[in-house]
Structure 1
Amino acid sequence: MPSLTNMGLAVSAAALSSAHAFVIPAEPRSLRGIQTEASGASAPSSSASGFRAGPAVAVGAVAGLAAAGVAKTRRGHALAKGQKASVRPGATNRSLSSARVVVCANAPLEGRKLRVAVVGGGPAGASTADSLAQAGIETYLIERKLDNCKPCGGAIPLCMIDEFDLPRDIVDRQVRKMTMISPTNKEVQIGQTLKDDEFIGMVRREVLDDFLRQRAKSNGATLINGLFVGMTMPQSKGEPYVLTYNDYDGEEGTARKGEKKTLEVDVVVGADGANSRVAKDIEAGDYEYAIAFQERMRIPENKMDYYKDRAEMYVGEDVSPDFYAWVFPKCDHVAVGTGTVVDKKGIKKYQQGIRDRAAVRIDGGNIIRVEAHPIPEHPRPWRVKDRAILVGDAAGYVTKCSGEGIYFAAKSGRMCAETIAKNSQNGVRMIDEADLMEHIREWDSKYGPTYLVLDLLQKVFYTSDAARESFVELCEEEYVQKVTFDSYLYKTVQGNDPMGDLKLGWKTLSSLYKFNNQKTPDPMRTLA
């Protein structure tokens, strides 16, 4: 899904700055524990009828904790909703005193390199395999669908192009204008703070994914076109995983059965999406998920010109009860889609809603492709078991509220691979669960607060059309736009102006009050 609502980071953190001043934590706590409490039954919530004070305090408090660095010691595994903090079933409780006896490194591998299988060839899997192969590790990348087209807005931040050394021509459109459209069809134009060389890249997933896979192959990874079926877990230290898969090499068409094959490896990286088979095999637990639905439409040339460097984001109960809908430009067509968690069965109704809202601008378009896919809503309860680890969507690394996943998938894969390479000394030593947990801690420390703030932001602004009207109005603020784009494009928290934060905080609360205490006019469902 698209990435436009990173605007919320600026709105929530700045707007609720006054609440931060009154947060006095008793003691440092795990970020995951705070997240569980915030989403549990005891947490304050906003009702369907409008905004209440509870969510504002919750967002302000938790954002304040994150900003102050209170949650410095984060657990490596996210807690499931309502789950108590515990050690993974079957694991041994370890004390600090017992940890001091574990001082020897893992044994060297004699006559061979560390063998790693990466299951799933999207941005997470391909980036993992590429970094592993470049480190000299024996790497296998298993992907069942080499023309993968996940229903995704396809927005990538500017920093990803350089960070992942992507060719500029992989970007279909350079978006410099955004139109946010409220439930009553109020339009707010976003993008005036962008510099001449700044833009959000729009890509087609089949193009991006193929490029990343082929680069991993050229750097030494073995690319297997096959369906991962399952794996036999090791029964003792150092014993290999035995993966079973259906090899599709040389077969064409949709009715392929494949040749059953097995593969022995030392480490398994699950990058196989929301329906991860690897996650099931390591008993990583379930998570809540959204359904994303998208239609690619080829519209008349004169209408396509409007979307030359523009993207649109629509909010409203008619297009999604808990997310938003989008019209994003691609090379010669637009992607029109929506998503929802709370009413998955109603996804086609909401898709019709975005068609109706955008009718004037997409009228005469022909649908050339229909895509649907589950999108994770929070991290898995467990992301590591022994020498198997999850990355990308399989781990649950899609941001709440914005639904951004491409950059975080690729980043998690690369960070995971770098940890494996470092702790195996570029593949000459075996690694264990403690080595993989190092990546989880690093990931949670770096990106945990972002996920937490966006999760709570969704509870504040995506609960009613009145709150959505307020959110769109706030996006008119130049300060919000600047902080948002600076943070999104470069994936670093930019230095905020304290006075700007306070002013925005007051305006946010005033706007929420205004829209929740006035009769919302009947929305006009056509655009002039």
Structure 2
Amino acid sequence: MTKQSEFDVVVVGGGPCGATAADDLARQGYRVALMDKAGRIKPCGGAIPPRLMRDFDIPTHLLCAHATAARMIAPSGKTVDMPIENGYVGMVNRDTFDEFLRERASASGAQRIRGEFSTIERTADGQSHVHFVNETGTAQSIRARYIIGADGARSKVAKQNIKGAGKIPCVFAYHEIIKISDHVMADYDPSRCDVYYQGHLSPDFYAWIFPHGDTASIGVGSAHKGFSLRGAIKDLRAASGFATYETVRTEGAPIPLKPLKRWDNGRDVLVAGDAAGVVAPSSGEGIYYAMACGREAATAVTEALKAGKVSALKHARKRFMKAHGKVFWVLGIMQHFWYRNDKRREKFVQICADPDVQYLTWQAYMNKELVRAKPAAHARIFFKDMGHLLGLSPT
């Protein structure tokens, strides 16, 4: 099965988080196994910021489109366009993007294993054995000093090893990839992301149409279990003129919207990415945060390997939340207030027309940190938000 059965680190999950962690560790010369199930593609709009391109050395050929604006659509049908000044949103196809990251990790020395994680067994001699089922259906196991669980929102690694991991709140996402013809409607712009804040399409989140070059992602998210995601997409495709366009593939999966309070088991396991709950509230953005989390996980495991102290595993969550916790908190408040009903969603889209909001939104997105350089803009936004919430602003 493998050339070696003992590793310093086994990374379970080969998405952006796991592949980044495996690559970082392998580059340092550690014996790394990257375990991933074959054929799975996560439902995702595929948006990545310029900072991700810089921080993780992503080649531009992986971008299938450059979005230079977003259109926000209110419940009433009113639209607000938000152009991006001196920047862009990069769009990627997750099948090719994720495979590039996995292959890069392999080229750095990580050993790829096609298989599905089963459980971790600790033997009397203190060793950890990772049990899995390979692609032929055969049960196998390998030994590891540490295990990074990057196996998604319903992570088996997390559920079996981290207290409370099975109760993480999620939005359920579903999207359909459609083939874009040469004769698309006048309202479709291949350089614009369309975001629908309409209760009939999502009672608590949003729906989207994102350009992907010769295809487009039409998706929706909701935490309401009784809500029909497929029905919402059918309605959106009909309303946007895409009802008869060829469907290339469909995908669905839960997306966590709250970081776990603890990411390690104090012994040999550290979870990261969706398994740790690091998807941004309000926007549902996850690729950048998954890769940043994967890097923090690799750094923490490196510290544990060098010092021989499992307490180093706690550093991953501490550093990640120090860097991004405030952003998650602000976005969580936004989602709680503005996505509650169509009346508030209407006001939210109206606020998006404000130049201060647009500037601070895009600066925060592209640089992945809160903008502190314009305190007057923050103050203006605060008072405008309060005016809308109290019904004092004109509609």
Equivalent residue number for residue 258 of structure 2:
378
Equivalent residue number for residue 261 of structure 1:
140
Q: SS where residue 278 of structure 2 aligns?
A: coil
Aligned pair partner of 2:10 in 96, 99, 117: 117
Deviation at 1:289, TM superposition (A): 1.3
Aligned pair partner of 2:334 in 438, 445, 457: 457
Q: Distance in 1 between matches of 2:191 and 2:51?
A: 18
Q: Is the 8 A contact 1:327 1:336 kept in 2?
A: yes
Which one-letter code corresponds to 1:497 in the other structure? K
Using structure 2 for the length normalisation, give the TM-score: 0.92
Matches within 5 A, 1:332-481: 332-359=214-241, 362-385=242-265, 386-425=267-306, 430-432=308-310, 434-481=311-358
Deviation at 1:259, TM superposition (A): 2.2
Q: Is the 8 A contact 1:299 1:363 kept in 2?
A: no
Seen in structure 2, the aligned counterparts of structure 1 residues 378 and 235 have a Cα distance that, compared at 3 Å, is farther
Q: Is the 8 A contact 1:241 1:264 kept in 2?
A: yes
Q: Would you say 1:325 and 2:325 are equivalent positions?
A: no
Q: SS where residue 213 of structure 2 aligns?
A: coil
Aligned pair partner of 1:247 in 118, 126, 134: 134
Q: Distance in 2 between matches of 1:282 and 1:489?
A: 35
Q: SS where residue 302 of structure 1 aligns?
A: coil
Query: Mind listing any 5+ residue stretches in structure 1 that lack a counterpart?
Result: 1-112, 249-256, 519-528
Deviation at 1:342, TM superposition (A): 2.5
Matches within 5 A, 1:22-101: none
Deviation at 1:208, TM superposition (A): 0.8
Equivalent residue number for residue 55 of structure 2:
163
Which one-letter code corresponds to 2:85 in the other structure? L
Query: Mind listing any 5+ residue stretches in structure 2 that lack a counterpart?
Result: 1-5
Q: Distance in 2 between matches of 1:370 and 1:515?
A: 43
Aligned pair partner of 1:173 in 42, 52, 65: 65
Aligned pair partner of 1:126 in 19, 27, 34: 19
Which one-letter code corresponds to 1:190 in the other structure? M
- What does the per-residue CA deviation read over 1:47-85, in whole Å, with 9 as the maximum and x for residues that have no partner? xxxxxxxxxxxxxxxxxxxxxxxxxxxxxxxxxxxxxxx
Which one-letter code corresponds to 2:62 in the other structure? I
Q: Distance in 2 between matches of 1:307 and 1:152?
A: 19
Per residue, is there more strand in 1 or in 2?
A: 2
Q: Distance in 1 between matches of 2:367 and 2:226?
A: 33
Q: SS where residue 249 of structure 2 aligns?
A: strand
Q: Distance in 1 between matches of 2:144 and 2:158?
A: 17
Q: Is the 8 A contact 1:119 1:271 kept in 2?
A: yes
Q: Percent identity?
A: 31
Which one-letter code corresponds to 1:441 in the other structure? K
Deviation at 1:512, TM superposition (A): 3.4
Q: Distance in 2 between matches of 1:221 and 1:229?
A: 21
Q: SS where residue 195 of structure 2 aligns?
A: strand
Q: Would you say 1:279 and 2:158 are equivalent positions?
A: yes
* Structure label with greater radius of gyration: 1
Equivalent residue number for residue 512 of structure 1:
389
Q: Distance in 1 between matches of 2:346 and 2:55?
A: 36
Matches within 5 A, 1:464-503: 464-503=341-380
Q: Would you say 1:194 and 2:72 are equivalent positions?
A: no
Q: Is the 8 A contact 1:296 1:368 kept in 2?
A: yes
Deviation at 1:281, TM superposition (A): 1.9
Equivalent residue number for residue 121 of structure 2:
232
Seen in structure 2, the aligned counterparts of structure 1 residues 412 and 172 have a Cα distance that, compared at 3 Å, is same
Deviation at 1:449, TM superposition (A): 1.5
Aligned pair partner of 2:77 in 176, 182, 185: 185
Q: SS where residue 301 of structure 1 aligns?
A: coil
Seen in structure 2, the aligned counterparts of structure 1 residues 487 and 445 have a Cα distance that, compared at 3 Å, is same
Deviation at 1:411, TM superposition (A): 0.7
Seen in structure 2, the aligned counterparts of structure 1 residues 148 and 516 have a Cα distance that, compared at 3 Å, is farther
Deviation at 1:349, TM superposition (A): 3.0
Q: Distance in 2 between matches of 1:333 and 1:307?
A: 12
Deviation at 1:277, TM superposition (A): 1.0
Which one-letter code corresponds to 1:247 in the other structure? N
Q: Is the 8 A contact 2:7 2:33 kept in 1?
A: no
Q: Distance in 2 between matches of 1:142 and 1:344?
A: 34
Across the aligned residues of Structure 1 and Structure 2, the Cα RMSD in angstroms comes to 2.2
Higher relative contact order (CA 8 A, sep 6+): 1
Q: SS where residue 295 of structure 1 aligns?
A: strand
